[in-house]
Structure 1
Amino acid sequence: MDQSSEKQRLEDLKHYALLDSAPEESFDRITRIAKKVFGVPIALISLVDENRQWFKSRQGLETCETPRDISFCTHAIEKNQPLIVHDASEDPRFRDSPLVTGDPNIRFYAGIPLRSPKGFNLGTLCVMDQQPRIASLEHIEILRDLARLVVDEIELRALAAFDCLTGMHRRTKFMEVAETELQRATRYGSNFSILIFDIDHFKTINDTHGHAAGDLVLQKVAEICKANLRSVDIASRFGGDEFVVLLPETNLSDARVIAERLRHQFETCQIEEGGHIMQFTTSFGLADHANSDLKTINAILNEADDYLYEAKTNGRNKVLTSTA
C-alpha cells in the first residue's frame, strides 16, 4: 500500500472513533459466533492503525493490542480477499513472529478485511487456533458474512455518533471520546484543551435568510474546522449553533492560537445564498485539563462555557480564556 493510500485509510479509520473505545455487545456477539462456528479458541475484531492492531472485540485473548509489525492482520488488510494461513510455523511470512514462536502460539489464521464504504480496509474479523487446520469454503463464506455484519455495525454506530448536517460528532459521542482522552491524559500526565464556540446572532441569520441559509452556515463551520484542525482533534456539534472541539496534547496558549485562527476564518468567509452574500462571526471560550481544579470533562466544559458567555457579553467575535 502506497503512503498516500495508507494516509487515507488511517483517516477513514479515525473517522469512526473506534480505537480505544469501550467493549460493545453488538461486536462481541459477532466474535462469539465466529469462534463457535469455526470451533477455535480465538476470534477477534482487529483494527490496524499506524503502529498496532487493536482489538475492538476479542474472544480467547487477554491482550487488547499487539504491535502492527508482527500482526497477521497487517498482511490481511493489504488485499481485498481472505487471508488463510493453514500452518503459520511453515509460512515464511509468519514463522518467526513472536505470536507464532511464543504465546499465543498461532498456527491457523483466517481473516477477512473489514472494508469501509470508502473502499479502505480498517482491520479484520479473524479467527485463530494453536493447531494447524484447513478452512472449508463454507466456513470462509460464513466468516465473510460475519465481516459484513461488523462493517454494518460500524456504519450504524457512525450514524448514531455523527451529526447528519455537519458530519461532526454528536454530543454523546464527543463525551465518550473526551472521557477516554481524560483517562489517557491523567495516566500519562499530559494536557489537553477544550474550546467552545457558537455563531453570533445565528437566530438573525435564520430569520433574515431562512433556515436553509442557516444550514449552509453550519456546514461552512464544519468545513472550516475540518480544514484547520488536526486529524486527532475531536470536533462536535453540541446542538443548534454551539460547537465544541477537544485538542489533545495542547496547552491553553496553543489552543488560543488555534481558536483565533478559526475565529478569523469564520469572520472572513463569505457564503452566497439566493443572490446574497452572508457573513458571520463567532465567540469562543477555552479551558484546559492542566487546571488542578478541573478533574472532570464536565468541569472543563463548564469553565470554557463561562468564558464563552463572557465573550458574548463583552462584544462577541472574540476568544476568552483564563489567560485573557
Structure 2
Amino acid sequence: MLAAQRIHPPSDATRVTRATPPDDARRVAALHRYQVLDTPACEEYTFLTELAAQLCGVPYAFISLVDAKRVWVKACTGLAMDSLPREQCYCSLAVLGQHATEIEDLSADPRTAGMPMTVSAPHMRMYSGVALTTPDGYAIGTLCVMDGKPGRLSAQQADSLRRLARQVMGLLEARASKQALQAAQAELAGLATTDDLTGLHNRRSLLSRLTFEVARTRRFRMPLSALLIDLDGFKAVNERHGHDAGDVVLASVGRLVRENVRVIDLAGRYGGQQICVLLPNTPQDGALKLAENLRVRIGAQIHREAGRLLPVTASIGVGSFNHMDINDADSLLRRTEEALARAKAKGRDRIES
C-alpha cells in the first residue's frame, strides 16, 4: 500500500464556482438515503481504492461523495483526506451529467487550474473519475484516480475503473439493503410487542416478560412486584363523549406511566382500561410507593378532547412475590387482581395490596 500523505489546502486558495444541476436537491437526497456520510473507514472500500490505483498505475485513488456543500472522502489511497469544499474538488464535476470525467492536465483546464490540489502540494496533474450512479440515475460521487504528472488512462484501465465503480455502488446498495432490513425487523418487532394506542407493551408481550421475571426471581430469590391500574370513570367517558375521547385518556395515561417507571420496569396494557406494571427487584413497600405516585399523577392529569375536560382517577392493586403462596405468574396476577377489586370496592381512587 502506498504511504499516505495528509494535505491541508491553503485558506486563500482560489475558489472556482461550480454549476449546480437543477435537480441537485434530489441528487443530495439520493446520497443521504445511503446514510454513509461521516461513517468510519471500511476495509472493503479502501481495498477498492488500492486496487484502482494499482490497475491504473497511479499513486492516488479516492471514493468521494458529493454532498450539498462539500465532498466527503469515504476511502483513499496514497493521500489521507477527509473532505473539501465542493467547489474546490475535482469530483464535483461528476454531478454535472457526465458518466466519466478525464482531465489530462489539471493545470491546463480552466475548471481545475486554480483548485488547491492543483496549485499546491501534492500538485495534481491527471484526474480520471467515474460517477457513482444510483439505480434511479443520480450521480452521488466518484471513484477517481489521480497522478502528479499529466497523462491519460488506457482503454483497459478506464474499463477497469468503471467496473470498480460498479463494485463501489454494489457495496453502497448492500449496506442500504441491510439497514432497510434491520429497520423493517425492528418495526415488526415493535408491532409484535407494542400496543398501538398506549405505546406500552401489549398483553402477549407483558405475559411473556412476566414468565421470564418469575423464573429469574425464583432462581436468584429476588423480589418481584406488580401493579394493576384501572381507570375509574373510564366507562362513563366512553358513554358520554365517545370512544375517541376514551382513546385520548388511555394514550395520555400510557405516556404518563412510561415516563414514571424505571428502565428495568415493564408496563403493558393488560386489557381495556387496565395497565399492568411489572417491577423486577422491587419489594412490596417500593411497589406501594410507586403505586401512590402514579395514582396521584393520574388523578392530576388534565385530559382534554374537543374542548371538554375528561377527569379520571385510578384504582391500583399491588401484588408481590413471597416465594410461598405467591410463587408463580398466575398467583402473582391473581393476588394483584384481588387487590385491585378491593380498591374498587372501597371507593376507588385508592391503593390496595
Please classify the TM superposition score into its range, dividing by the shorter chain length: 0.5 to 0.7
Q: Structure 1 segments of 4 or more deviating over 3 A? A: 79-86, 136-144
Distance 2:269 2:340 in 1: 15
C-alpha offsets along residues 232-283 of structure 1, whole Å, 9 cap, x if unaligned? 2101011210110001111101100000110011112222222222211111
Match of 2:281 in 1: 249
Match of 1:302 in 2: 334
Q: Which structure 1 residue ranges, 5 or more long, are not aligned? A: 1-78, 87-135
Task: Note closer, same or farther for the CA distance 1:81–1:301 as it changes in structure 2 (3 Å cut).
Answer: farther
Residues 1:210 and 2:246 are matched in the alignment: no
Question: Number of residues paired by the alignment?
Answer: 197
State the secondary structure of the residue aligned to 2:331.
helix
Given the two structures, how large is their TM-score scaled by the length of structure 2?
A: 0.51
The answer to which of 234-243 and 273-282 deviates more is: 273-282
Percent identity of equivalent pairs: 31
Residues 1:154 and 2:186 are matched in the alignment: yes
Match of 1:277 in 2: 309
**Which one-letter code corresponds to 1:318 in the other structure?**
R
Q: Which structure 2 residue ranges, 5 or more long, are not aligned? A: 1-37, 46-166
Distance 2:44 2:352 in 1: 58
Task: Note closer, same or farther for the CA distance 1:312–1:82 as it changes in structure 2 (3 Å cut).
Answer: farther
Aligned runs of 1:97-136 on 2, under 5 Å? none
| Residue 301 of structure 1: how far off its partner (Å) | 0.7
Match of 1:238 in 2: 270
Distance 1:276 1:171 in 2: 30
Residues 1:174 and 2:233 are matched in the alignment: no
Task: Note closer, same or farther for the CA distance 1:278–1:177 as it changes in structure 2 (3 Å cut).
Answer: same
Distance 2:220 2:263 in 1: 21
Task: Note closer, same or farther for the CA distance 1:276–1:141 as it changes in structure 2 (3 Å cut).
Answer: closer
**Which one-letter code corresponds to 2:227 in the other structure?**
L
Match of 1:165 in 2: 197
**Which one-letter code corresponds to 1:304 in the other structure?**
T
Distance 1:247 1:280 in 2: 24
Aligned-residue CA RMSD (Å):
2.7
Match of 1:198 in 2: 230
Work out whether residues 217 and 223 of structure 2, in 8 Å CA contact, stay in contact via their aligned partners in 1. Answer: yes
Distance 2:181 2:41 in 1: 16
Distance 2:265 2:239 in 1: 33
Task: Note closer, same or farther for the CA distance 1:152–1:310 as it changes in structure 2 (3 Å cut).
Answer: same
C-alpha offsets along residues 178-234 of structure 1, whole Å, 9 cap, x if unaligned? 222222222222111111011112111111122111111101111211221112210
Work out whether residues 227 and 318 of structure 2, in 8 Å CA contact, stay in contact via their aligned partners in 1. Answer: yes
| Residue 156 of structure 1: how far off its partner (Å) | 0.4
Work out whether residues 201 and 269 of structure 2, in 8 Å CA contact, stay in contact via their aligned partners in 1. Answer: yes
Work out whether residues 218 and 323 of structure 2, in 8 Å CA contact, stay in contact via their aligned partners in 1. Answer: no
Work out whether residues 214 and 329 of structure 2, in 8 Å CA contact, stay in contact via their aligned partners in 1. Answer: yes
Distance 2:218 2:43 in 1: 41
Structure ID, larger Rg: 2
Distance 1:246 1:83 in 2: 43
Aligned runs of 1:16-95 on 2, under 5 Å? 80=39, 84=43
Task: Note closer, same or farther for the CA distance 1:139–1:162 as it changes in structure 2 (3 Å cut).
Answer: same
Work out whether residues 317 and 339 of structure 2, in 8 Å CA contact, stay in contact via their aligned partners in 1. Answer: yes
Match of 2:259 in 1: 227
State the secondary structure of the residue aligned to 1:317.
coil
C-alpha offsets along residues 114-162 of structure 1, whole Å, 9 cap, x if unaligned? xxxxxxxxxxxxxxxxxxxxxx865785465345323311210111210
Work out whether residues 200 and 269 of structure 2, in 8 Å CA contact, stay in contact via their aligned partners in 1. Answer: yes
